Structure 1
């Protein structure tokens, strides 16, 4: 009788002890009201926040250094061909190696020479800005249509064409925007038009990063079998941020090409075409 009561009492005490332990465990994991804010505040004031501050300081220092002594824009590839009238269709690939500064209104110089090295034409073409860590493609036309010393039908075709690009002094501006953040291009292919030209069609969409600009340029760059530029064509289209805009680019007297690529970039309304 006594042992039975003792066993019952031990079981009861064990139950109470378990309840007590469970209560202690619950007290251990239960977070006080508002603790989430405390944790969030600790994270905001912890190593992550400190690293973010350091990154901002590094970015600011980089922008300041690059604005004072920016690396020059680079033409990393180019190509051209001559039409029967002596005009040169060309395209260039331009890179801005800087990380935090944009080149404002850079100028492309195009120099055509004959077999003897004499300059046939020397033209300067102003282009819109080139954002940092970005690659741009520009297609233009240059050259004279006829030799002034000969007949009007005598076309002057250069033997060589040289390209260079420069940024006017003081025309660098700090920015954290990149060209890859701005555009989406949907290529719809190429077809032969009724008058013999190649017609390239598709859509281009500018993101909100376009900063209110209402025009964009679309460049079709022709490539050879090795992926090198052979030439190109372009068109200016009206674009609104977030809305797809159609483009159709006619390539007249286009040379044979292995492939092509389509690119888009911002275009100021007062930019030279």
Structure 2
């Protein structure tokens, strides 16, 4: 027992000398036995904590930059068709490329032109806010201001229709809300009605209330064989978080289409039509 005790003391002494040598080589004054803990912290926790700090600084810099100079909303796809009365049913796909700011009350401008390039109508439509890093679909009707000859009863239909979207100056607000994954749409299909229209039915469920909205708009977007927008229809429905709400949208004069998709977005009550 005595020899074992002496051996243990000797080994302990050697271990202490080894630690002291390491500390001397690295010019460290860490207490004996703490070096391993320090290494573990640097190797396992330091990089993650450091990256989190870098990400936080990057997010703050992005928020500051976007608040001062937000990127414009983008219309990345659009489509339209003219009804027999000359009115135009259209749909646009709008993206907000900013990560931290919402576009408040953006305005869609719709310009219809004849074969010669003359403007026959130029209308603006106010829309609800577009949340950051989100994609919205809007369907509307335009052409009520079409310019036709006072001596002619002929319906004027546009040869081309152009779309643009702008956000009023000072109408950007910081928010951490996003549109993604909030809405679930259960498509009930499309059926022909006895008066010739298509009826699209289904349910929409919002997991939360965005922008304080108690209503949601449901847009049925018609698509061609390449998945491009041909036009669309919409309806406003009352929604409560977590509860499915029925929708039925009648499409009068709908053109031939290859497929369709249904989208939902918040509709603040004051914007309801």
TM-score normalised by structure 2 residue count = 0.79
Determine helix, strand or coil for the equivalent of 1:210: coil
Aligned to 1:68: 68
Structure 2 unaligned blocks of 5 or more: 2-40
Q: Which runs of 4+ in 1 moved over 6 A?
A: none
1:154 Cα offset (Å): 2.2
Q: 1:164 to 1:70 in 2, by over 3 A?
A: same
The number of residue pairs the alignment matches comes to 233
Whether the 8 Å contact between 1:113 and 1:159 is mirrored in structure 2 is yes
1:211 Cα offset (Å): 5.1
Deviation string for 1:161-182 (max 9, x for gaps)? 1000001001111122211132
2 CA distance for matches of 1:168 and 1:65? 18
2 CA distance for matches of 1:104 and 1:64? 18
Deviation string for 1:71-122 (max 9, x for gaps)? 1111111100000000000001111111111111100000011111111110
Aligned to 1:27: none
Q: 1:209 to 1:58 in 2, by over 3 A?
A: farther
When Rg is computed on C-alpha atoms for both structures, the one with the higher figure is 1
1:46 Cα offset (Å): 5.6
2 CA distance for matches of 1:117 and 1:211? 40
2 CA distance for matches of 1:228 and 1:76? 10
2 CA distance for matches of 1:105 and 1:60? 25
Aligned to 1:22: none
- Aligned-residue Cα RMSD (Å) equals 2.3
1:268 Cα offset (Å): 1.4
Structure 1 unaligned blocks of 5 or more: 1-12, 14-41
2 CA distance for matches of 1:212 and 1:88? 31
Aligned to 1:241: 241
Matched, 1:189 2:189: yes
